[in-house]
Chain A
């Protein structure tokens, strides 16, 4: 046993010194990570990281956490959509096999999302076990520009990072400055309905409702801080939100037929319930990554119809070309916008 441990220890030592450790990177969890000179093969440990690496350096991405479904694959270049499924390493639904990842020979592992002690220690463990440097980036919406810049530097994709972060900061700053002028009484009450019954929602500070908070609207469930929570129908009726956003097609279909909702919610009566698009990545909440930028443009018009009149077709074309490396066909965009619940009425 002791010899075995010694061998493992030496191997770990070898692998950490063996790689050309030319750069030290301090990640968002405060961990000092030695990066190889040139990063060529990247394993993204979760969907937000996948989106970010794919946007910045698609040829360095060695796989996805989950294989694309055909309707999703149609939105990105085939050679990237065909990358293998490697599973996810950290966070909820840990499905990756460390051996599968080792076999894919990444020279860097990246996770974007929470940087708390749990994730930091997971990163340390995987790094020790595999000898592959593992960096953690803070995945909050308002740090998107920094995420792009930092990761661009790490991946050696500074030019693209400049292009994307310029786009992102223009988009975010533009929204922020125009919303800053909106008086409090013009900011809508929003309820985020999750699950087939729409009775799960995100509390203040949860990554799920960041978009509502960023756009200066009032999350009706925001008086309590936390993550996801279940609420009763009565409570939703009491809140009587002006706008309801969901990503559950079943809830969206049922909400119009449900006698309780129809009788008691002004958002249903005024037809202000919206279903977020989900192709190839969700526009609202999941995954909570850079994919939400286009969702912000969409949601801004829903929340402030008098203030924002974006040319959504053009915005989609630009965002998808920049981040997903293919401009969708006009037909694709028409189909996406014609899906029930997407277009503001």
Chain B
């Protein structure tokens, strides 16, 4: 793995450049035609506070519609991929995704309950966020109550069980929902979408994602050690129990905030950490930043494709699954063939 150590700065640089180019591309394309020079003029004016000689409509489209959407896609992708990376390291299992502890199911139940009660959109988002936190809190509480045995295994099993309980709750709400109005709204929410993202959504979501991401980044060297068996990590002076809770809390916060903004979007948290591992090796300290960058780029690419296919939009969850499945299989083959 010496090779990948020297690869790390190169990978960061390449990914960073790619991300910047992709962001520029994403903000320049869309159904409302805004010529590239005008896009640049609007952005420049927004940064410097100068007046842009651009029609009001174009300014609104670039600054209020596209920019928040691009930022949301970047943040959600980075959040889901980082949470996935954290969990895969924590559970020492590459098949783990951010919803292993039931966070998506909890968010989904919160959101569909909000739709059933015909709440305004901001409250629906709040319900989604709260639902994710409640689900994982429940898993941790049950895990603590069960005690004994393999702690990690207990958590995973509890996560599966709580996840399916909340999933049943979602199914129940669907039955209760008004089939003409609420049911389609629920279905669309469950498929995930960035279509309605507004600047005010970001004001809430970005800090929450940052609160999750910063501790993961600061603790990255210690989190590395969680990949070791518990007693070895303890021998190296790591408080395994506390660190584990910290990772879970950070990942839950990020995922809940991401799902509250964009709905349930699968595969990013599972596939991206694999790709990152392939690029720079399994060490968490290097995998985390690469996962975040790669996740943001992937999500942005997917969302840009979703809104560019036609006048109506594709749900990004469908596209991530379409791309994620073959890529995952390919990564799997690549990983196993490398090993002797």
A→B interface (CB under 8 Å): 47, 66, 88, 91-93, 95, 194-197, 199-200, 203, 221, 223-224, 228-235, 237-238, 247-250, 253-254, 258-260, 263-264, 282, 285-288
Among A221, A231, A248, which residue has its beta carbon within 8 angstroms of that of B181? Answer: A248
10 closest A-B pairs by beta carbon, nearest first, are A286-B180, A93-B179, A229-B312, A197-B196, A92-B179, A234-B32, A196-B121, A260-B64, A238-B32, A235-B31
B169 contacts the other chain (CB 8 A)? no
Which residues of the partner chain A approach B310 to less than 8 Å between Cβ atoms?
A: 224
B→A interface (CB under 8 Å): 30-32, 56-57, 60-61, 64-66, 115, 118-121, 124, 174-175, 177-181, 183-185, 188, 193, 195-196, 198, 307, 310-313, 315
Cα distance A249–B66 when bound, in Å?
Answer: 26
Which residues of the partner chain A approach B181 to less than 8 Å between Cβ atoms?
A: 194, 247-248, 286
Shortest distance between the CB of B187 and any CB in chain A (Å):
9
- Whether the pair A230, B56 counts as a contact (CB closer than 8 A) is no
Given contacts A195-B184, A248-B181, A263-B60, contact A230 B315 (CB under 8 A): yes
Given contacts A93-B174, A237-B32, contact A287 B180 (CB under 8 A): yes
- Whether the pair A199, B195 counts as a contact (CB closer than 8 A) is yes
Cα distance A22–B124 when bound, in Å?
Answer: 55
- Whether the pair A264, B61 counts as a contact (CB closer than 8 A) is yes
- Whether the pair B175, A235 counts as a contact (CB closer than 8 A) is no
Cα distance A48–B49 when bound, in Å?
Answer: 56
Which residues of the partner chain A approach B32 to less than 8 Å between Cβ atoms?
A: 234-235, 237-238
- Among A234, A253, A260, chain B packs the most CB atoms within 10 A around the CB of A234
- Whether the pair B120, A196 counts as a contact (CB closer than 8 A) is yes
- Whether the pair B180, A233 counts as a contact (CB closer than 8 A) is no
Which residues of the partner chain B approach A250 to less than 8 Å between Cβ atoms?
A: 118-121
**A201's closest neighbor in chain B, by CB?**
B312
Q: List 23 A-B contacts (CB under 8 A).
A: A95-B175, A194-B185, A195-B188, A196-B185, A199-B196, A203-B312, A221-B311, A228-B184, A229-B313, A230-B313, A231-B311, A231-B312, A231-B313, A232-B65, A234-B66, A234-B307, A235-B311, A237-B61, A250-B118, A259-B64, A260-B60, A286-B180, A287-B180
Cα distance A231–B308 when bound, in Å?
Answer: 11
Cα distance A177–B90 when bound, in Å?
Answer: 71
Number of A-B contacts (CB under 8 A): 114
Which residues of the partner chain A approach B184 to less than 8 Å between Cβ atoms?
A: 194-195, 200, 228
- Whether the pair B64, A249 counts as a contact (CB closer than 8 A) is no
- Whether the pair A93, B177 counts as a contact (CB closer than 8 A) is yes
Among A88, A223, A237, which residue has its beta carbon within 8 angstroms of that of B179? Answer: A88
Which residues of the partner chain A approach B31 to less than 8 Å between Cβ atoms?
A: 232, 234-235, 238
Shortest distance between the CB of A88 and any CB in chain B (Å):
7
Which residues of the partner chain B approach A221 to less than 8 Å between Cβ atoms?
A: 311-312
Which residues of the partner chain B approach A229 to less than 8 Å between Cβ atoms?
A: 312-313
**A263's closest neighbor in chain B, by CB?**
B60
Cα distance A258–B198 when bound, in Å?
Answer: 9
Among A47, A224, A230, A264, which residue has its beta carbon within 8 angstroms of that of B57? Answer: A264
Which residues of the partner chain B approach A231 to less than 8 Å between Cβ atoms?
A: 195, 311-313
Which residues of the partner chain B approach A196 to less than 8 Å between Cβ atoms?
A: 115, 118-121, 124, 185
**B63's closest neighbor in chain A, by CB?**
A260
Shortest distance between the CB of B38 and any CB in chain A (Å):
14
- Whether the pair A93, B175 counts as a contact (CB closer than 8 A) is yes
- Whether the pair A254, B179 counts as a contact (CB closer than 8 A) is no
